[in-house]
Amino acid sequence: MKGIMIHCGGKYVSYDELRKVETPRATRSWNPYPYHRLVDSVQSLLGEHDLRSVHHKYAISRDGDRFFGLMQIRNGVDSDDYGNVLGLRASHDKSLSTELAAGTGVFVCDNMSFCGSEQVKRKHTTHVERDLKKVVGKALAACASHWVDQAKRIEVYKETKLSRKSVHDIVVKAMLAGAIPNTKVPEVLAEYENPTYEDFRPRTGWSLHNAFTEVMKKNQMRLNLVQDRTLRLTGLLDQELGVHLAKK
pLDDT level of residue 128 (50, 70, 90 thresholds): low
pLDDT level of residue 129 (50, 70, 90 thresholds): low
Neighbouring residues of 63: CB distance < 8 A, sequence distance ≥ 6: none
Residue 117's H or E segment, with its range, is: strand 111-119
Residue 168 above 70 pLDDT? yes
pLDDT level of residue 187 (50, 70, 90 thresholds): very high
Look at 182 and 245; give whichever has higher pLDDT.
182
Average pLDDT of span 107-112: 87
Q: Which of 3-7, 34-38, 219-223 has the lowest mean pLDDT?
A: 3-7
Residue 135 above 90 pLDDT? no
Neighbouring residues of 8: CB distance < 8 A, sequence distance ≥ 6: none
> What does the pLDDT read at residue 30?
74
Amino acid at 119: Q
CA distances from 22 to 29, 63, 88, 150, 164 (A): 19, 10, 18, 37, 53
Residue 143 above 70 pLDDT? yes
In total, the chain counts a number of residues equal to 248
Average pLDDT of span 206-223: 86
**DSSP three-state, residue 19:** helix
Look at 79 and 22; give whichever has higher pLDDT.
22
Residue 221 above 90 pLDDT? no
State how far the Cα of 46 lies from the Cα of 86, in Å rounded to an integer: 11
Closest alpha carbon to 35 in 48, 22, 44, 54: 22
The strand pair at 82-91 and 99-106 is best described as: antiparallel
Residue 126 above 60 pLDDT? no
Q: What is the mean pLDDT of the chain?
A: 86
> What does the pLDDT read at residue 179?
95
> What does the pLDDT read at residue 166?
97
Neighbouring residues of 80: CB distance < 8 A, sequence distance ≥ 6: 107
Amino acid at 112: M
Q: Which of 77-81, 181-185, 202-206 has the lowest mean pLDDT?
A: 77-81
pLDDT level of residue 162 (50, 70, 90 thresholds): very high
**DSSP three-state, residue 184:** helix
CA distances from 170 to 15, 19, 100, 106, 208 (A): 41, 44, 28, 21, 9
Average pLDDT of span 185-198: 97
State how far the Cα of 189 lies from the Cα of 40, in Å rounded to an integer: 42
Indicate the domain borders of the chain: 11-146, 157-241
Structural contact between residues 143 and 51, judged by C-beta atoms closer than 8 angstroms: no
Q: Between vectors from CA 192 to CA 186 and to CA 193, what angle results, nearest 5°?
A: 90
State how far the Cα of 171 lies from the Cα of 225, in Å rounded to an integer: 18
Q: Which of 101-105, 181-185, 199-203 has the lowest mean pLDDT?
A: 101-105
Structural contact between residues 79 and 70, judged by C-beta atoms closer than 8 angstroms: no
Radius of gyration of the chain (CA): 19
Q: What are the phi and psi torsion angles at 28 (to 5°)? A: -65, -35
